Amino acid sequence: MAEIPKLRVGFLGLGIMGEAMARNLLKSGLFASVMVWNRTMAKCAPLVAEGAQCAETPAAVVDSCDVTFAMLADPSAALEAVFGDNGVLAAIAPGKGYVDMSTVDEATSTKIGEAIATKGGKFLEGPVSGSKKPAIDGQLIIMAAGDKELYDLVQSAFNVMGKKSFYLGTTGAAARMKLVVNMVMGSMMGAFCEGMALADKAGLEQSALLEILGLGAMANPMFALKGPAIMSRNYPPAFPLKHQQKDLRLALALGDALNQPLPVAAAANEAFKNAKAKGHADEDFAAVYEATQQK
């Protein structure tokens, strides 16, 4: 039986998540080649040292690859990479696939998917749940929607980057699901930080609160992981606060469009906006704790 040729894969966006995800593709040895691009080109160097190829534009990556993945900051970054000069659209063609794993809204994803389809390419959205450590460990949860053939084709890549993937239907469904998930996460983090702040003001040990929460029905890995960062008020970024605020903003816009009241998420969004205004945008999203602190 003829051997199935290995895919040539590309990766756009080597931030906290993208670097780890591209590295896992590279380390797996499952692909004929891994080609990377990042707006700030210096960030390609570590992966190139490990065996990746590097290109100067998104179009050059797409031109050389069967499937190109992207993990970019937000809707404007995702659109820029596709529609900008020497963007994905300049090189996408029949036989090529594009998988955008960034967290964006449905309108962004749909616009990208339609443009790719117009050029004969296949498009899949694949936002992920899980932060820096799950990305390094290849343990992300992948929410995918769009072209089912492309979804099937990239299973080997998804298996390397994640622990489970879900095919949710037509383009937009994964973007919506990811925003709902992150709306819950942002609201939980906001409530947790308020609890930590109130405990402190009320003369209680925050470590005791953490332990008590951890033993009951509210126990969850996020409180256990972020609690110590909050207690030390030191927030090295795993999930940058500006991205969590972007996700709350996009989830609230989805709620507006569907006439769904979201008062808890709206309040959490205000706390994240406040923390951003106080200079914590690039710190971990646990820094929303700083919004609870009054002078």
Ligand X SMILES: NC(=O)C1=CN([C@@H]2O[C@H](COP(=O)(O)OP(=O)(O)OC[C@H]3O[C@@H](n4cnc5c(N)ncnc54)[C@H](OP(=O)(O)O)[C@@H]3O)[C@@H](O)[C@H]2O)C=CC1
Binding flag, residue 272, ligand O=CC(=O)O (CB under 6 A): no
Out of 7, 11, 15, 192, which residue is the one contacting ligand X (CB under 6 A)? 15
Identity of the residue, 67 or 251, whose beta carbon is nearer to ligand O=CC(=O)O in the bound complex: 251
Is residue 116 a contact residue for ligand X (CB under 6 A)? no
Answer yes or no: 278 catalytic. no
Phi-psi region for residue 123, left (φ > 0), alpha (ψ -120 to 50) or beta? beta
Annotated catalytic residue, options 96, 111, 122, 178: 178
Q: How do strand 122-125 and strand 97-100 relate by DSSP bridges?
A: parallel
C-alpha distances in Å from residue 113, one per residue of 63, 75, 109, 124, 135: 18, 13, 6, 7, 25
CA distance 44 to 19: 8
Pick the binder of ligand X from 10, 11, 13, 245 (CB under 6 A): 13
Residue 21 interacts with ligand X (CB under 6 A): yes or no: no
What percentage of the chain's residues is helix, strand, coil (to nearest 5)? 55, 15, 30
State the maximum Cα–Cα separation within the chain, in Å, rounded to a whole number.
Answer: 72
Scanning 88-96, 129-137, 169-177, 208-216 for contacts with ligand O=CC(=O)O by CB under 6 A, the matching segment is 129-137
Residue 225 Cβ vs ligand X, minimum distance, rounded to whole Å: 11
Q: Which stretch binds ligand X (CB under 6 A): 34-42, 111-119, 166-174, 214-222?
A: 34-42
Question: What x/- string results for residues 122 through 161 when contact with ligand X is judged by CB under 6 A?
Answer: ------x--xx-----------------------------
Write out the E strands in 29-138. 33-37, 53-54, 67-70, 97-100, 122-125, 128-129
Across 89-122, b (16+ Cβ under 10 Å) vs e yields bbbbeeebbbbbbbbbbbebbbbbbebbeeeebb
Least distance in Å: CB of 153 to ligand X? 22
Where does this chain bind ligand X (CB under 6 A)? 13-18, 38-40, 43, 71-74, 76-77, 80-81, 102-103, 128, 131-132, 238-240, 243
